[in-house]
Structure 1
Amino acid sequence: MSRAEGQAQLAEWLTFALCGVELNSNRLESTTPRRIARLVGSALSTFEERFREGTVGWLSAATRSRRR
């Protein structure tokens, strides 16, 4: 995924999830607080996983083998 595609996906997510509406079958529906919490939780988990993978990728093989 390119940076521009990622930014477009983020903008769409922010627009529909955090602004309280989402598009389902071409109609707008209210987003519940529970759904927003799940979306934010999912985004946080994804960020943490990518951060962890990226950080481990910078470590030398010797360092990675010691962390297990």
Structure 2
Amino acid sequence: MRTFFTALSVYAICYLLVRIARPAFTLPEDSRILFEEDWVPGREAITKAFEQLFKERASHG
């Protein structure tokens, strides 16, 4: 489970880094779960970064 949750965190951070490098990047709809679900580790921090970078609110599941 630790490996799974670490992989989720890495994917989320990679999407944020891509957005920084390519401001026109749009997040694939199926990947929004990384920023919306309560069970994602570190959700509060990555959701805050998501909302600042993507200029939209992440719905909280």
For normalisation by structure 1, the TM-score amounts to 0.34
| Higher-Rg member (1/2) | 1
Higher-helix-fraction structure: 1
Q: Taking CA–CA contacts closer than 8 Å with sequence separation of 6 or more, which of the two structures ends up with the larger relative contact order?
A: 2
Which structure dedicates a bigger proportion of its chain to strand?
1
TM-score normalised by length of structure 2: 0.38
